[in-house]
A and B are shown apart, each in its own frame.
Chain A
Amino acid sequence: MTAQRSLLAGLVLLLWAAGAARAAEPGPRAVVRETIDAVLGIARSEGASAARRDAAFAVVKRHFDFEAMSRRVLATHWAVASADARTRFVGLFAELLARTYWRRIANYRGGSVEFVAERVRDDGYATVATLVHTDTTAIPVDYRLQRTATGWQAYDVTIEQISLVRNYRGSFQDIVHKHGIAGLLQQMESRIAQLPAE
């Protein structure tokens, strides 16, 4: 009887532990939803634009793996880039994205973001499909995630079936071919300087 009872207790404990482990690691859909909700919440809050931008960026950084993104964007040039050039690229690329998209996010007054589908593959990749509703139209936006030691991390976004990573991979490739990685970093810096900081 006691043996049975302790067995039952053990089983309950085991199930509880499994549940806790699952709760500790949110799925791809939960990760994307949490990030979008937090960013939109910040975008719609009151306060200085620069401060809100930094707060939103901090949230995005938690679930977007900018290093994985940068490696994919630099593609074949990543392997030959120095450690210093890689670090600089990751920083500049994140800043470039933040400046390019913050204004659009801050100005987004649409209805809602609808979660359409979640596809999780056996090999640790996942796609979360969403529809961003504006006043007049719906834009399909898909997030691509990879399972890492720190949970699910996004590494690409496709809008209307056009991949952000593939887009920058193409345009940066051209710049690196003509001006080298140093030239690319320089162009990114001047582009960032042209974009409004808030």
Chain B
Amino acid sequence: MGLLLLAGLAALAFLALELGDVSPPFAHHYELRARFVSTSGLREGAFVEIAGVRVGQVTAIDLDSDAYEAVVRMRLDRRLSLPRDAIASIRTTGLIGEKFVKITPGGADENLPPGGEIVDTESSISIEELISKYIFESDSR
């Protein structure tokens, strides 16, 4: 009976690690933060990519209630180091797909330390809002 329970738990843990986005605490990751004016549509667990390659994921999105800005925490592969002037942008897969964080590395000599913050960011843009704004608000001349 106890053995069966143990086997069941082991199977569950295996499934969680394999299928879910749960990673063991001893994994080789580090955390970075980034602030955005808007993260609309971005969800926890969304992936982080560089040059189209998945290098990490979003672990938390919180509101800084003083500045009314979104603070996104990301977990990245420890082997990956990023220059200080990297830019984090919220992008959409395809036209109406899911949101993800795209990082473009810069050219600074210094790298971001673990737990550091990517200073330069581009927030999510709503194509629909942009189009409507320039249809209705700008002159047609």
A residues sitting closer than 8 Å to B (CB atoms) are 71-72, 74-79, 119, 121, 123, 125, 134-137, 144, 156, 158, 160-163, 165-166, 169-170
The answer to whether B120 and A74 touch across the interface, beta carbons within 8 angstroms, is no
Q: Mark B26-68, 1 if CB is under 8 A from A, else 0.
A: 0000000000011000000000000000000000000000010
The answer to whether B87 and A160 touch across the interface, beta carbons within 8 angstroms, is no
The answer to whether B107 and A72 touch across the interface, beta carbons within 8 angstroms, is yes
| CA gap between A170 and B122 in the complex, in Å | 14
The answer to whether A76 and B122 touch across the interface, beta carbons within 8 angstroms, is no
The answer to whether B104 and A170 touch across the interface, beta carbons within 8 angstroms, is yes
Given A72-B107, A136-B138, A158-B122, are A166 and B37 also a contact pair (CB < 8 Å)? no
Apart from A134-B138, A137-B137, A162-B122, what are 6 other A-B pairs with CB-CB below 8 Å? A71-B106, A76-B107, A78-B107, A79-B109, A123-B119, A169-B104
Which interface class (under 10, 10 to 19, 20 to 34, 35 or more) fits B? 20 to 34
CB distance from B43 to the nearest CB of A (A): 19
Given A136-B137, A136-B139, A158-B122, are A166 and B85 also a contact pair (CB < 8 Å)? no
Q: When A and B form their complex, what is the total count of cross-chain residue pairs whose Cβ atoms lie within 8 Å?
A: 61
The answer to whether B105 and A75 touch across the interface, beta carbons within 8 angstroms, is yes
CB distance from A72 to the nearest CB of B (A): 5
CB distance from B126 to the nearest CB of A (A): 10
Given A136-B139, A137-B138, A169-B87, are A161 and B37 also a contact pair (CB < 8 Å)? yes
> B122 touches which one: A74, A119, A137, A166 (CB < 8 A)?
A166
The answer to whether B87 and A162 touch across the interface, beta carbons within 8 angstroms, is no
Contacts of B120 in A (CB 8 A): 144, 156, 163, 165-166
- Decide yes or no whether B130 CB sits under 8 A from chain A: yes
